[in-house]
Structure 1
Amino acid sequence: MAMKVKEVAELASISVRTLHHYDEIGLLIPDEVTSAGYRLYSDANLEQLQQILFFKELDFSLKEIKNIITNPSFNPEEALNMHRLILLEKRQRLDQMIATIDRTVLHVRGEIKMTAKEQFEGFDFSQNPYEQEARERWGDHAVDHANQKLHNKSTTEQKALSDQMNEIYKHLASLRHTEPASAEAQAGIQEWYTCLNLMGSYSPEAFRGLGQMYVDDERFTRNIDQFGDGLALFMRDAMAVFADQNK
Protein backbone atom coordinates (compact mmCIF):
# COMPACT_ATOMS: atom_id res chain seq x y z
CA MET A 1 0.00 0.00 0.00
CA ALA A 2 1.29 3.46 -0.87
CA MET A 3 2.47 5.61 2.02
CA LYS A 4 2.26 9.36 2.40
CA VAL A 5 5.39 11.40 2.92
CA LYS A 6 4.70 11.96 6.63
CA GLU A 7 4.24 8.24 7.19
CA VAL A 8 7.51 7.45 5.42
CA ALA A 9 9.33 10.14 7.37
CA GLU A 10 8.12 8.66 10.66
CA LEU A 11 8.94 5.13 9.54
CA ALA A 12 12.52 5.99 8.57
CA SER A 13 13.09 8.52 11.38
CA ILE A 14 13.90 11.32 8.95
CA SER A 15 12.20 14.62 8.25
CA VAL A 16 9.56 15.37 5.66
CA ARG A 17 11.87 18.10 4.43
CA THR A 18 14.57 15.50 3.78
CA LEU A 19 12.21 13.43 1.63
CA HIS A 20 11.19 16.52 -0.29
CA HIS A 21 14.88 17.28 -0.91
CA TYR A 22 15.56 13.73 -2.13
CA ASP A 23 12.69 14.15 -4.58
CA GLU A 24 13.92 17.54 -5.78
CA ILE A 25 17.43 16.26 -6.56
CA GLY A 26 16.15 13.08 -8.24
CA LEU A 27 17.51 10.76 -5.58
CA LEU A 28 14.17 9.33 -4.46
CA ILE A 29 11.20 10.17 -6.64
CA PRO A 30 7.86 8.84 -5.32
CA ASP A 31 6.09 6.51 -7.70
CA GLU A 32 2.90 8.53 -7.50
CA VAL A 33 1.86 12.12 -6.93
CA THR A 34 -1.87 12.79 -6.48
CA SER A 35 -3.76 15.52 -8.26
CA ALA A 36 -3.61 17.46 -5.02
CA GLY A 37 0.19 17.22 -5.04
CA TYR A 38 0.60 14.58 -2.31
CA ARG A 39 3.61 12.30 -2.70
CA LEU A 40 2.83 8.58 -2.41
CA TYR A 41 5.67 6.10 -1.84
CA SER A 42 5.55 2.50 -3.03
CA ASP A 43 7.30 -0.55 -1.55
CA ALA A 44 9.99 -0.12 -4.20
CA ASN A 45 10.47 3.47 -3.05
CA LEU A 46 10.92 2.26 0.53
CA GLU A 47 13.53 -0.27 -0.55
CA GLN A 48 15.42 2.46 -2.35
CA LEU A 49 15.19 4.73 0.68
CA GLN A 50 16.69 2.00 2.83
CA GLN A 51 19.66 1.81 0.46
CA ILE A 52 20.05 5.59 0.52
CA LEU A 53 20.07 5.70 4.31
CA PHE A 54 22.44 2.75 4.47
CA PHE A 55 25.02 4.51 2.32
CA LYS A 56 24.39 7.81 4.08
CA GLU A 57 25.25 6.14 7.38
CA LEU A 58 28.61 5.38 5.81
CA ASP A 59 29.12 9.09 5.12
CA PHE A 60 28.58 8.98 1.37
CA SER A 61 27.43 12.26 -0.14
CA LEU A 62 23.98 12.35 -1.73
CA LYS A 63 25.61 12.80 -5.12
CA GLU A 64 27.73 9.69 -4.60
CA ILE A 65 24.73 7.69 -3.43
CA LYS A 66 22.74 8.70 -6.48
CA ASN A 67 25.60 7.69 -8.78
CA ILE A 68 25.86 4.29 -7.09
CA ILE A 69 22.21 3.28 -6.83
CA THR A 70 21.24 4.55 -10.28
CA ASN A 71 24.05 2.68 -11.98
CA PRO A 72 22.48 -0.12 -14.08
CA SER A 73 24.99 -2.58 -12.65
CA PHE A 74 24.12 -1.80 -9.03
CA ASN A 75 22.90 -4.85 -7.11
CA PRO A 76 21.40 -3.92 -3.70
CA GLU A 77 21.84 -7.38 -2.23
CA GLU A 78 25.43 -7.56 -3.40
CA ALA A 79 26.13 -4.18 -1.80
CA LEU A 80 24.70 -5.22 1.55
CA ASN A 81 26.43 -8.57 1.59
CA MET A 82 29.79 -7.12 0.63
CA HIS A 83 29.64 -4.42 3.25
CA ARG A 84 28.59 -6.89 5.92
CA LEU A 85 31.52 -9.14 5.09
CA ILE A 86 33.93 -6.20 5.33
CA LEU A 87 32.52 -5.24 8.71
CA LEU A 88 32.61 -8.79 10.05
CA GLU A 89 36.22 -9.21 9.00
CA LYS A 90 37.04 -5.91 10.68
CA ARG A 91 35.16 -6.92 13.82
CA GLN A 92 36.95 -10.25 13.97
CA ARG A 93 40.29 -8.47 13.84
CA LEU A 94 39.21 -6.03 16.57
CA ASP A 95 38.14 -8.94 18.78
CA GLN A 96 41.55 -10.50 18.27
CA MET A 97 43.26 -7.25 19.21
CA ILE A 98 41.14 -6.97 22.37
CA ALA A 99 42.13 -10.51 23.31
CA THR A 100 45.78 -9.60 22.70
CA ILE A 101 45.42 -6.60 25.02
CA ASP A 102 43.94 -8.79 27.74
CA ARG A 103 46.77 -11.31 27.44
CA THR A 104 49.35 -8.53 27.36
CA VAL A 105 48.04 -7.16 30.65
CA LEU A 106 48.60 -10.58 32.20
CA HIS A 107 52.04 -10.71 30.55
CA VAL A 108 53.00 -7.33 32.05
CA ARG A 109 51.87 -8.56 35.46
CA GLY A 110 54.07 -11.60 35.07
CA GLU A 111 51.12 -13.97 35.21
CA ILE A 112 51.71 -15.42 31.75
CA LYS A 113 54.53 -15.43 29.20
CA MET A 114 53.74 -14.25 25.67
CA THR A 115 55.86 -14.93 22.62
CA ALA A 116 56.83 -12.02 20.38
CA LYS A 117 54.37 -13.29 17.76
CA GLU A 118 51.52 -13.45 20.27
CA GLN A 119 52.12 -9.84 21.29
CA PHE A 120 51.23 -8.66 17.79
CA GLU A 121 48.24 -10.86 16.98
CA GLY A 122 45.51 -8.84 15.33
CA PHE A 123 47.77 -6.01 14.18
CA ASP A 124 47.82 -6.87 10.48
CA PHE A 125 45.50 -4.25 8.99
CA SER A 126 46.18 -5.30 5.40
CA GLN A 127 44.23 -8.55 5.46
CA ASN A 128 40.58 -7.85 4.88
CA PRO A 129 40.00 -10.37 2.09
CA TYR A 130 36.81 -8.70 0.92
CA GLU A 131 38.18 -5.20 0.39
CA GLN A 132 39.82 -5.68 -3.00
CA GLU A 133 36.66 -7.13 -4.48
CA ALA A 134 34.66 -4.17 -3.15
CA ARG A 135 37.24 -1.69 -4.45
CA GLU A 136 37.00 -3.24 -7.89
CA ARG A 137 33.20 -3.10 -7.67
CA TRP A 138 32.61 0.45 -6.49
CA GLY A 139 36.02 2.13 -6.37
CA ASP A 140 38.42 2.99 -3.57
CA HIS A 141 36.32 5.84 -2.24
CA ALA A 142 33.36 3.62 -1.47
CA VAL A 143 35.45 1.12 0.47
CA ASP A 144 37.28 3.84 2.37
CA HIS A 145 33.89 4.97 3.64
CA ALA A 146 32.82 1.41 4.40
CA ASN A 147 35.89 0.93 6.59
CA GLN A 148 35.22 4.03 8.66
CA LYS A 149 32.35 2.68 10.72
CA LEU A 150 30.99 -0.47 12.27
CA HIS A 151 27.26 -1.02 12.40
CA ASN A 152 25.50 -0.22 15.67
CA LYS A 153 25.48 -3.69 17.13
CA SER A 154 25.94 -4.33 20.83
CA THR A 155 29.25 -5.66 22.09
CA THR A 156 27.48 -8.85 23.13
CA GLU A 157 26.07 -9.40 19.63
CA GLN A 158 29.43 -8.71 18.01
CA LYS A 159 31.24 -11.09 20.33
CA ALA A 160 28.65 -13.85 19.89
CA LEU A 161 28.85 -13.78 16.09
CA SER A 162 32.63 -13.61 16.10
CA ASP A 163 32.82 -16.54 18.51
CA GLN A 164 30.41 -18.54 16.37
CA MET A 165 32.50 -18.00 13.24
CA ASN A 166 35.72 -18.89 15.02
CA GLU A 167 34.21 -22.05 16.47
CA ILE A 168 33.04 -23.17 13.03
CA TYR A 169 36.49 -22.51 11.57
CA LYS A 170 38.09 -24.52 14.39
CA HIS A 171 35.62 -27.38 13.92
CA LEU A 172 36.21 -27.47 10.17
CA ALA A 173 39.96 -27.37 10.76
CA SER A 174 39.63 -30.53 12.85
CA LEU A 175 37.93 -32.18 9.87
CA ARG A 176 40.25 -30.95 7.12
CA HIS A 177 41.98 -34.31 6.71
CA THR A 178 38.70 -36.13 6.09
CA GLU A 179 36.93 -36.51 2.77
CA PRO A 180 35.07 -33.28 1.84
CA ALA A 181 32.05 -35.37 0.83
CA SER A 182 31.88 -37.28 4.13
CA ALA A 183 28.81 -36.85 6.29
CA GLU A 184 30.83 -35.23 9.06
CA ALA A 185 32.48 -32.75 6.71
CA GLN A 186 29.16 -31.87 5.09
CA ALA A 187 27.53 -31.36 8.48
CA GLY A 188 30.32 -28.94 9.36
CA ILE A 189 30.07 -27.06 6.07
CA GLN A 190 26.29 -26.85 6.52
CA GLU A 191 26.96 -24.92 9.74
CA TRP A 192 29.15 -22.52 7.78
CA TYR A 193 26.49 -22.07 5.11
CA THR A 194 23.87 -21.36 7.77
CA CYS A 195 26.17 -18.89 9.50
CA LEU A 196 26.88 -16.99 6.28
CA ASN A 197 23.19 -16.75 5.55
CA LEU A 198 22.66 -15.02 8.87
CA MET A 199 24.82 -12.25 7.42
CA GLY A 200 23.58 -12.24 3.85
CA SER A 201 21.80 -14.37 1.29
CA TYR A 202 23.83 -17.09 -0.43
CA SER A 203 22.50 -19.57 -2.92
CA PRO A 204 24.36 -22.89 -3.07
CA GLU A 205 26.07 -21.69 -6.27
CA ALA A 206 27.14 -18.43 -4.67
CA PHE A 207 28.43 -20.50 -1.75
CA ARG A 208 30.47 -22.59 -4.21
CA GLY A 209 31.89 -19.43 -5.76
CA LEU A 210 32.88 -18.08 -2.37
CA GLY A 211 34.67 -21.33 -1.61
CA GLN A 212 36.67 -21.00 -4.82
CA MET A 213 37.71 -17.51 -3.76
CA TYR A 214 39.11 -19.00 -0.55
CA VAL A 215 41.75 -20.66 -2.70
CA ASP A 216 42.11 -18.19 -5.56
CA ASP A 217 42.64 -15.16 -3.33
CA GLU A 218 45.71 -15.47 -1.11
CA ARG A 219 44.17 -13.12 1.45
CA PHE A 220 41.31 -15.54 2.02
CA THR A 221 43.73 -18.45 2.14
CA ARG A 222 46.04 -16.74 4.60
CA ASN A 223 43.23 -15.79 6.98
CA ILE A 224 41.49 -19.15 6.86
CA ASP A 225 44.62 -21.26 7.07
CA GLN A 226 45.56 -19.62 10.35
CA PHE A 227 43.11 -22.12 11.83
CA GLY A 228 44.94 -25.01 10.18
CA ASP A 229 47.11 -25.49 7.10
CA GLY A 230 45.04 -26.59 4.14
CA LEU A 231 41.72 -25.49 5.64
CA ALA A 232 40.90 -23.13 2.76
CA LEU A 233 41.38 -25.90 0.20
CA PHE A 234 39.29 -28.31 2.26
CA MET A 235 36.50 -25.76 2.65
CA ARG A 236 36.50 -25.05 -1.09
CA ASP A 237 36.07 -28.73 -1.89
CA ALA A 238 33.45 -29.29 0.81
CA MET A 239 31.50 -26.21 -0.30
CA ALA A 240 31.53 -27.47 -3.89
CA VAL A 241 30.11 -30.83 -2.76
CA PHE A 242 27.49 -29.01 -0.70
CA ALA A 243 26.46 -26.93 -3.74
CA ASP A 244 26.15 -30.04 -5.89
CA GLN A 245 23.99 -31.77 -3.27
CA ASN A 246 21.72 -28.77 -2.80
CA LYS A 247 20.98 -27.72 -6.38
Structure 2
Amino acid sequence: MYVDAGEGDEPVLMLHGAGVSGWMWEPVRALLPPGMKAIVPDLPGFGRSANLPYVSHTATVGELRGILERHAPHGAHVVGFSLGAQLAILLAAEFPQLVRSVTVVSAETKPAPLPGYTLALLALAAPLSRQRWFARAQARQLGIPEQFWDEYLRDSASTSRDTLIASVGENIRFTLPATWSEYRGPVGILVGARERKLMHDSAALTASALPGSSLRTVEGSAHDVPLTNPHAIASELKRKITP
Protein backbone atom coordinates (compact mmCIF):
# COMPACT_ATOMS: atom_id res chain seq x y z
CA MET A 1 0.00 0.00 0.00
CA TYR A 2 1.37 3.44 -0.93
CA VAL A 3 1.97 5.68 2.11
CA ASP A 4 2.90 9.36 2.25
CA ALA A 5 4.46 9.88 5.69
CA GLY A 6 5.76 13.26 6.83
CA GLU A 7 7.97 14.32 9.71
CA GLY A 8 6.92 15.33 13.21
CA ASP A 9 6.37 14.24 16.79
CA GLU A 10 2.57 13.88 16.75
CA PRO A 11 1.55 11.25 14.18
CA VAL A 12 -1.86 11.56 12.52
CA LEU A 13 -3.16 8.70 10.34
CA MET A 14 -5.57 10.09 7.72
CA LEU A 15 -7.89 7.62 5.96
CA HIS A 16 -9.74 8.69 2.81
CA GLY A 17 -13.12 7.61 1.49
CA ALA A 18 -14.04 5.39 -1.45
CA GLY A 19 -13.55 6.74 -4.96
CA VAL A 20 -10.79 9.15 -3.96
CA SER A 21 -7.31 8.82 -2.42
CA GLY A 22 -4.91 10.57 -0.06
CA TRP A 23 -5.04 13.90 -1.93
CA MET A 24 -8.43 14.63 -0.38
CA TRP A 25 -6.66 15.43 2.91
CA GLU A 26 -4.58 18.28 1.45
CA PRO A 27 -6.92 21.06 2.72
CA VAL A 28 -6.77 19.60 6.25
CA ARG A 29 -3.01 18.99 6.14
CA ALA A 30 -2.44 22.64 5.23
CA LEU A 31 -4.07 23.64 8.54
CA LEU A 32 -2.15 21.29 10.82
CA PRO A 33 0.43 22.96 13.07
CA PRO A 34 4.15 22.20 12.83
CA GLY A 35 5.13 19.03 14.64
CA MET A 36 2.17 16.98 13.43
CA LYS A 37 3.28 14.05 11.29
CA ALA A 38 0.69 13.22 8.62
CA ILE A 39 0.59 9.53 7.64
CA VAL A 40 -1.59 9.34 4.54
CA PRO A 41 -2.05 6.01 2.76
CA ASP A 42 -3.78 5.43 -0.54
CA LEU A 43 -6.00 2.54 0.49
CA PRO A 44 -5.93 -0.67 -1.60
CA GLY A 45 -7.69 -0.20 -4.92
CA PHE A 46 -7.43 3.60 -4.94
CA GLY A 47 -4.97 6.24 -6.13
CA ARG A 48 -1.38 5.07 -6.11
CA SER A 49 -2.53 1.72 -4.67
CA ALA A 50 -5.00 1.08 -7.52
CA ASN A 51 -3.03 -2.00 -8.59
CA LEU A 52 -4.01 -3.68 -5.31
CA PRO A 53 -7.67 -4.77 -5.11
CA TYR A 54 -9.82 -3.73 -2.18
CA VAL A 55 -10.71 -7.05 -0.57
CA SER A 56 -12.39 -6.23 2.74
CA HIS A 57 -12.33 -3.93 5.75
CA THR A 58 -10.75 -6.75 7.76
CA ALA A 59 -7.83 -7.12 5.35
CA THR A 60 -7.32 -3.36 5.10
CA VAL A 61 -7.33 -2.88 8.88
CA GLY A 62 -4.63 -5.55 9.11
CA GLU A 63 -2.49 -3.56 6.65
CA LEU A 64 -3.16 -0.30 8.50
CA ARG A 65 -2.03 -1.93 11.73
CA GLY A 66 1.30 -2.68 10.04
CA ILE A 67 1.57 0.94 8.85
CA LEU A 68 1.01 2.22 12.38
CA GLU A 69 3.55 -0.19 13.82
CA ARG A 70 6.13 1.08 11.31
CA HIS A 71 5.40 4.81 11.34
CA ALA A 72 3.84 5.36 14.78
CA PRO A 73 4.75 2.46 17.08
CA HIS A 74 3.57 4.43 20.13
CA GLY A 75 0.22 5.18 18.53
CA ALA A 76 -1.31 7.86 16.31
CA HIS A 77 -4.32 10.11 16.22
CA VAL A 78 -6.60 8.60 13.57
CA VAL A 79 -9.01 10.57 11.39
CA GLY A 80 -11.17 8.93 8.76
CA PHE A 81 -13.78 10.05 6.26
CA SER A 82 -16.70 7.88 5.08
CA LEU A 83 -15.22 4.44 4.30
CA GLY A 84 -12.02 5.61 6.00
CA ALA A 85 -14.02 6.55 9.10
CA GLN A 86 -15.32 2.99 9.32
CA LEU A 87 -11.72 1.78 9.19
CA ALA A 88 -10.81 4.27 11.93
CA ILE A 89 -13.57 2.85 14.14
CA LEU A 90 -12.31 -0.70 13.54
CA LEU A 91 -8.70 0.28 14.31
CA ALA A 92 -9.74 1.85 17.62
CA ALA A 93 -11.93 -1.12 18.52
CA GLU A 94 -9.39 -3.80 17.60
CA PHE A 95 -6.01 -2.15 18.25
CA PRO A 96 -6.63 0.59 20.85
CA GLN A 97 -2.96 0.54 21.89
CA LEU A 98 -2.10 2.05 18.50
CA VAL A 99 -4.84 4.71 18.48
CA ARG A 100 -4.41 7.81 20.64
CA SER A 101 -7.65 9.44 19.52
CA VAL A 102 -10.28 9.06 16.80
CA THR A 103 -12.01 11.62 14.60
CA VAL A 104 -14.91 10.01 12.76
CA VAL A 105 -16.19 12.03 9.79
CA SER A 106 -19.36 10.90 7.99
CA ALA A 107 -19.25 7.21 8.88
CA GLU A 108 -22.26 5.12 7.89
CA THR A 109 -22.82 2.79 10.84
CA LYS A 110 -26.42 1.79 10.12
CA PRO A 111 -26.64 -0.67 7.22
CA ALA A 112 -28.26 0.86 4.15
CA PRO A 113 -31.55 -0.64 2.94
CA LEU A 114 -31.51 -2.92 -0.13
CA PRO A 115 -27.72 -3.37 -0.41
CA GLY A 116 -28.09 -5.91 -3.22
CA TYR A 117 -30.03 -3.43 -5.35
CA THR A 118 -27.46 -0.69 -4.68
CA LEU A 119 -24.56 -2.93 -5.66
CA ALA A 120 -26.33 -4.12 -8.82
CA LEU A 121 -26.78 -0.50 -9.93
CA LEU A 122 -23.15 0.22 -9.08
CA ALA A 123 -21.97 -2.71 -11.19
CA LEU A 124 -23.91 -1.36 -14.15
CA ALA A 125 -22.62 2.18 -13.69
CA ALA A 126 -18.99 1.25 -12.94
CA PRO A 127 -17.78 1.54 -16.58
CA LEU A 128 -19.04 5.13 -16.66
CA SER A 129 -16.55 6.14 -13.96
CA ARG A 130 -13.80 5.83 -16.57
CA GLN A 131 -15.52 8.41 -18.78
CA ARG A 132 -14.26 11.95 -18.15
CA TRP A 133 -17.67 13.58 -18.64
CA PHE A 134 -19.25 11.27 -16.06
CA ALA A 135 -16.40 11.64 -13.56
CA ARG A 136 -16.52 15.43 -13.97
CA ALA A 137 -20.25 15.42 -13.23
CA GLN A 138 -19.60 13.26 -10.17
CA ALA A 139 -16.90 15.67 -8.98
CA ARG A 140 -19.40 18.54 -9.08
CA GLN A 141 -22.03 16.49 -7.25
CA LEU A 142 -19.55 15.49 -4.53
CA GLY A 143 -18.45 19.08 -3.95
CA ILE A 144 -14.85 18.47 -4.99
CA PRO A 145 -13.07 21.81 -5.59
CA GLU A 146 -11.87 22.33 -9.15
CA GLN A 147 -8.20 22.31 -8.12
CA PHE A 148 -8.63 18.61 -7.28
CA TRP A 149 -10.56 17.56 -10.38
CA ASP A 150 -7.48 16.17 -12.12
CA GLU A 151 -6.77 13.93 -9.13
CA TYR A 152 -10.39 12.81 -8.94
CA LEU A 153 -10.57 12.07 -12.67
CA ARG A 154 -7.34 10.08 -12.44
CA ASP A 155 -8.66 8.05 -9.50
CA SER A 156 -11.98 7.40 -11.24
CA ALA A 157 -10.19 6.05 -14.29
CA SER A 158 -7.89 3.77 -12.28
CA THR A 159 -10.39 2.27 -9.82
CA SER A 160 -11.55 -1.18 -10.89
CA ARG A 161 -15.11 -2.46 -10.89
CA ASP A 162 -14.17 -5.16 -8.35
CA THR A 163 -12.71 -2.59 -5.96
CA LEU A 164 -15.79 -0.39 -6.24
CA ILE A 165 -18.15 -3.25 -5.52
CA ALA A 166 -16.05 -4.65 -2.65
CA SER A 167 -15.46 -1.30 -0.93
CA VAL A 168 -19.01 0.00 -1.36
CA GLY A 169 -20.40 -3.38 -0.28
CA GLU A 170 -18.40 -3.19 2.94
CA ASN A 171 -19.43 0.44 3.41
CA ILE A 172 -23.19 0.01 3.11
CA ARG A 173 -23.30 -3.14 5.26
CA PHE A 174 -21.07 -1.81 8.04
CA THR A 175 -22.14 -2.05 11.68
CA LEU A 176 -20.33 -0.93 14.82
CA PRO A 177 -18.08 -3.59 16.38
CA ALA A 178 -19.01 -4.58 19.93
CA THR A 179 -15.63 -3.42 21.25
CA TRP A 180 -16.19 0.15 20.01
CA SER A 181 -17.89 0.88 23.34
CA GLU A 182 -14.68 -0.15 25.15
CA TYR A 183 -12.37 2.39 23.48
CA ARG A 184 -11.07 4.89 26.05
CA GLY A 185 -9.31 7.54 23.98
CA PRO A 186 -10.85 10.88 22.97
CA VAL A 187 -13.41 10.56 20.16
CA GLY A 188 -15.00 13.26 18.02
CA ILE A 189 -17.80 12.45 15.56
CA LEU A 190 -18.57 14.90 12.74
CA VAL A 191 -21.39 14.88 10.20
CA GLY A 192 -22.29 17.45 7.54
CA ALA A 193 -25.52 19.34 8.18
CA ARG A 194 -26.73 18.65 4.62
CA GLU A 195 -26.01 14.91 4.63
CA ARG A 196 -28.68 12.22 4.26
CA LYS A 197 -30.82 11.25 7.24
CA LEU A 198 -29.05 7.87 7.30
CA MET A 199 -25.75 9.65 7.95
CA HIS A 200 -27.21 11.71 10.81
CA ASP A 201 -28.78 8.60 12.31
CA SER A 202 -25.41 6.83 11.97
CA ALA A 203 -23.55 9.69 13.68
CA ALA A 204 -26.01 9.63 16.59
CA LEU A 205 -25.70 5.84 16.87
CA THR A 206 -21.87 5.99 16.82
CA ALA A 207 -21.86 8.63 19.56
CA SER A 208 -24.46 6.91 21.76
CA ALA A 209 -22.51 3.63 21.59
CA LEU A 210 -19.46 5.28 23.15
CA PRO A 211 -20.12 7.37 26.27
CA GLY A 212 -17.82 10.38 26.47
CA SER A 213 -17.55 10.89 22.72
CA SER A 214 -18.59 14.21 21.20
CA LEU A 215 -20.95 14.74 18.25
CA ARG A 216 -20.77 17.82 16.04
CA THR A 217 -22.85 18.86 13.04
CA VAL A 218 -20.80 20.81 10.50
CA GLU A 219 -22.91 23.58 9.03
CA GLY A 220 -22.74 24.22 5.29
CA SER A 221 -21.34 20.80 4.46
CA ALA A 222 -22.82 17.71 2.87
CA HIS A 223 -20.83 14.48 2.37
CA ASP A 224 -17.70 16.55 1.73
CA VAL A 225 -16.54 17.93 5.10
CA PRO A 226 -12.76 17.49 4.55
CA LEU A 227 -12.97 19.51 1.32
CA THR A 228 -15.60 22.14 2.17
CA ASN A 229 -14.83 22.68 5.86
CA PRO A 230 -11.31 21.44 6.62
CA HIS A 231 -11.13 23.84 9.57
CA ALA A 232 -13.73 21.71 11.39
CA ILE A 233 -11.49 18.66 11.20
CA ALA A 234 -8.25 20.53 11.90
CA SER A 235 -9.75 22.12 15.02
CA GLU A 236 -10.98 18.73 16.21
CA LEU A 237 -7.47 17.29 15.84
CA LYS A 238 -5.84 20.26 17.58
CA ARG A 239 -8.31 19.96 20.46
CA LYS A 240 -7.32 16.33 21.00
CA ILE A 241 -3.58 16.94 20.73
CA THR A 242 -3.27 20.19 22.70
CA PRO A 243 -3.77 19.66 26.45
Q: Normalising by the residue count of structure 1, what TM-score does the alignment of the two structures yield? A: 0.28
Larger strand percent? 2
Larger helix percent? 1
Give the structure with higher Rg (CA): 1
The one of the two structures with greater contact order (alpha-carbon pairs below 8 A, sep at least 6) is 2
Q: Normalising by the residue count of structure 2, what TM-score does the alignment of the two structures yield? A: 0.29
